[in-house]
Amino acid sequence: MENEFLIFDYIDGKLSPQQEEAFFNLLSQNEELRTEFKQQLALKTAFTKDLHTFVPSPETTMSLFSKMGIGAGVGAATSTLVNTSPSLFSKIVTFIGSTAFKSVAVTLLTAGITFFGLLKYEVIEWYDEEGNTTKNLTVNKVNETPKPQEINANNNLNGGVSSDDQEQQIKIVEKIVDRNKFIFTFDTLKLSGNEKIKAIEFFNSLKNENTQSDIVENNLIEIDNASINPLKPNFSFNPNFSINNERYNSPILNLSNFNIDLPISVEYTNALQKSMLSNNNDININRDYSGLLNSRISLFYNHNSQFQFGVEYRSEDFFQEFNIIDGSGRLLTYYQQPEFNLVSGVFRYLPNFSKFNISFLEFEPFVLASYGADLSGGGIVARAGAGLNCYVSDNVYVQALYDYSNLNFKQGDMNYNSRKTGLNLGIGWNFNK
Amino acid sequence: MQKDFSKYSDADLALIISEKGIHAEKAFMEVYKRYSTGINAYCTKILNDRITAEDIFQETFIKFYESVNPKVNTNIAGFLVTIARNLCLNHKRNRKQKVDITEMEFLSYDVQNYENVQMLEFVNTAVDLLDDEYKEALILREYNNMEYDEIAQVLNITAINAKTRVCRAKKKVKELLKPYLKEITN
């Protein structure tokens, strides 16, 4: 037994140098001890090998962690480790960095292409205003030279038609500015939808306010049935142009003539800046992003001026951290930042009370929420955000959107979360504004 | 910076886990990484039933996570083994352990290569055939890498007694595997 203890102690590394020397002397002199020593070594090796067969299976480990609620919380725990904020200089450098620069470039390029597309097909119409008086009501008489009529916009067209005009039959109404300063140009494009309704309301108001109601109504019917080339430009320029503070009186573009009148809006935005909330400070994943990564295309149904429902497609990346138990039972933590192709349902609320105008620009703050999934099954994403649409013309707006995204994904049986926030800039087109 | 828990001592990990703060889960994962294999081996060999052993194994770590007290449980390995041991004993109270001696028959098969996987099965079976008191001491020593005084603490015996038990267990296993060990040593 004493010799066996000696062997055990040697194998366990418990012998002092002197004891080891004595042990080796004993081994050299004792054949039986040498055999015993070899067998103990073999046994030790066998135990060690046998131990490796007891590495818990990945399923066992995952099952245990699931029971304990560990795993989904790992990402959250690591995200809280992000506690140092970059300096202003590094932020500026980051902004000028390739990803942000590409994003801005793509946004501007897209905006440019869109505007060029609009200019190609749209009728640009300038109009003027002097103080609060608009000179845009032009009533043409049958076989007569058009005779401009001045109407005070604040006076509800009272006195808009002279007594001489009342005696003449109105044939064509070229251009009408109603009391809300909606512009209807009947001689170039057909009216439909809201503009037509507005026009009818306007003519009805004329009906109530002057004696030529029958003639006006006939004119409307005649105009509506007229053969009109919708692509014929109707350029007019008044050198007395001045900025109109009223809605839709954009000095840049008046696209009301191009009225598809579908209750939809389309948008394209590109992520200008994003912050991966789940990203550890000591883990940097640098990828050569293409310019179109982190872009968004949305299509909305305009239920009314305040509520929109739609779908959006996003190509974007999420930082992911998750754990996997490998075949030998080791717990491995993976860090990756793959690209996702997400389709979501979106709800947007643009409260009327928050809308405001600055000069000719109309601003529409909004909040939105969306819920969707990756097309290739990469996970479920929920989003919330707030933003601002700025109409630069009747239908076209630029948009800034800041949103928070949460991606829920699975690895094995475990649920994980990736979160990020980001600023998106882009352009949109509301067809029936 | 992300903390590297692999550099933390058992006592530090126990403290972090007991606080149940934001790092508790990662600290627990480090403990799991260090001791899961040994605990799994202990449960499996003591119970001779992998399925039941898996349940006990999981329950051990759950109980550990819930109840670890850094002031009392400075030796995590010992605490884990104690939990596993108590759970195994509770389970065994309701089950009469039965080891069929005929299992050793396959030891007479001609196995030339020690490296053969079958050899591991022989070792496993030989350990299973030990009396509980020796088996337990051997498992704690060889599979959980515990010191004799730690084994003594878990089994509530003296360190010398623990060492003697381990030695006798090895001797018994060696006898059972004698034909194969001879092959190796020759």
Q: Is residue A66 part of a domain?
A: no
Are residue B28 and residue B78 in the same domain, yes or no? yes
What Rg value do the Cα atoms of chain B yield, rounded?
A: 18
Are residue B65 and residue B116 in the same domain, yes or no? no
Are residue A288 and residue A163 in the same domain, yes or no? no
B177 CB near a chain A CB, below 8 Å?
yes
Domain limit, last residue, from B97, B115, B150: B97
Share of chain A above pLDDT 90, in %: 14
Range of the domain at A30: 2-45
Are residue A40 and residue A89 in the same domain, yes or no? no
A175-195 average pLDDT score = 42
Q: Is residue A109 part of a domain?
A: yes
Average the pLDDT over each of A172-176, A263-267, A336-340, A409-413 and give the range with the smallest value: A172-176
Are residue A227 and residue A193 in the same domain, yes or no? yes
Are residue A229 and residue A266 in the same domain, yes or no? no
Q: Is A172 a residue whose pLDDT tops 60?
A: no
Are residue B117 and residue B44 in the same domain, yes or no? no
Are residue B126 and residue B85 in the same domain, yes or no? no
State the smallest CA–CA distance between residue A32 and chain B in angstroms. Answer: 12
Are residue A21 and residue A161 in the same domain, yes or no? no
Condensed to tens digits (0 to 9), the pLDDT of residues A128-156 reads 333 333 333 333 333 333 333 433 333 33
CA atoms of A124 and A236, how far apart (whole Å): 8
Are residue B172 and residue B88 in the same domain, yes or no? no
A132 CB near a chain B CB, below 8 Å?
no
Q: Is B149 a residue whose pLDDT tops 60?
A: yes
Q: Is B85 a residue whose pLDDT tops 70?
A: yes
Top mean pLDDT of A122-136, A157-171, A325-339, B46-60 is at B46-60
Are residue B86 and residue B103 in the same domain, yes or no? no
Residue A360 belongs to domain with CATH number:
2.40.160.20
Model pLDDT, residue A111: 58
Are residue A17 and residue A101 in the same domain, yes or no? no
CB < 8 Å to B2, chain A: 78, 81, 280-283
Per-residue H/E/C for chain A: CHHHHHHHHHHCCCCCHHHHHHHHHHHHHCHHHHHHHHHHHHHHHHHHHHHHCCCCCHHHHHHHHHHHCCCHHHHHHHHCCCCCCCCHHHHHHHHHCHHHHHHHHHHHHHHHHHHHHHHHHCCCCCCCCECCEECCCEEEECCCCCEECCEEHHHCCCCCCCHHHHCCCEEEEEEEECCCCCEEECCCCCCCHHHHHHHHHHHHHHHHHCCCHHHHHHHHHHHHCCCCCCCCCCCCCCCCCCCCCCCCCCCCCCCCCCCCCCCEEEEEEEEEEEEECCCCCCCCCCCCCCCCCCEEEEEEEECCCCEEEEEEEEEEECCEEEEEECCCCCEEEEEECCEEEEEEEEEEECCHHHCEEECCEEEEEEEEEEEEEECCCCCEEEEEEEEEEEECCCCEEEEEEEEEEEEEEEECCEEEEEEEEEEEEEEEEECCC
Q: Is A169 a residue whose pLDDT tops 70?
A: no
CA atoms of B23 and A275, how far apart (whole Å): 23
Are residue B43 and residue B108 in the same domain, yes or no? no
Number of domains in chain A: 3
Do the Cβ atoms of A77 and B173 come within 8 Å?
no
Q: Nearest CB to A73: which of B25, B62, B174?
A: B25
CA atoms of B167 and B159, how far apart (whole Å): 12
Q: Between residues A406 and A134, which one has the greater pLDDT?
A: A406
Model pLDDT, residue A331: 65
Are residue B74 and residue B106 in the same domain, yes or no? no
Are residue A227 and residue A239 in the same domain, yes or no? yes
Q: Is B73 a residue whose pLDDT tops 70?
A: yes
Are residue B8 and residue B92 in the same domain, yes or no? yes
Are residue B11 and residue B84 in the same domain, yes or no? yes
Q: Is residue A68 part of a domain?
A: no
Are residue A327 and residue A309 in the same domain, yes or no? yes
Model pLDDT, residue A386: 95
B22 CB near a chain A CB, below 8 Å?
yes
pTM of structure: 0.43
CA atoms of A39 and A45, how far apart (whole Å): 10
Q: Between residues A135 and A426, which one has the greater pLDDT?
A: A426
Number of domains in chain B: 2
Interface test with B, best of A7, A27, A37, A54 (most B CBs within 10 A): A54
Range of the domain at B24: 1-97
Domain limit, last residue, from A257, A274, A309: A257
Are residue A150 and residue A177 in the same domain, yes or no? yes
Residue B40 belongs to domain with CATH number:
1.10.1740
A and B: number of Cβ contacts within 8 A: 114
Are residue A231 and residue A290 in the same domain, yes or no? no
Q: Between residues A249 and A84, which one has the greater pLDDT?
A: A249
Model pLDDT, residue B57: 93
Domain limit, last residue, from B97, B118, B145: B97
Q: Is A210 a residue whose pLDDT tops 90?
A: no
Are residue B20 and residue B41 in the same domain, yes or no? yes
Do the Cβ atoms of B22 and A80 come within 8 Å?
yes
**Gap between the terminal Cα atoms of chain B:** 55
Top mean pLDDT of A57-66, A258-267, A346-355 is at A346-355
Are residue A252 and residue A182 in the same domain, yes or no? yes
Model pLDDT, residue B143: 87
Q: Nearest CB to B58: which of A55, A64, A73?
A: A64
Model pLDDT, residue A3: 75
Residue B148 belongs to domain with CATH number:
1.10.10.10
CA atoms of A342 and A380, how far apart (whole Å): 9
Average the pLDDT over each of A86-100, A254-268, A351-365 and give the range with the smallest value: A86-100
* Average pLDDT over all residues of chain A: 65
State the smallest CA–CA distance between residue B174 and chain A in angstroms. Answer: 7
Model pLDDT, residue A112: 57
Model pLDDT, residue A75: 36
Distances (CA, A) of A267 to A284, A343, A352, A397, A401: 32, 14, 20, 9, 11
Are residue A158 and residue A272 in the same domain, yes or no? no
Model pLDDT, residue A406: 92
Q: Between residues A209 and B81, which one has the greater pLDDT?
A: B81
Residue A146 CB neighbour total at 10 angstroms: 12
Are residue B141 and residue B83 in the same domain, yes or no? no
Q: Between residues A241 and A263, which one has the greater pLDDT?
A: A263
Domain limit, last residue, from B81, B97, B113: B97
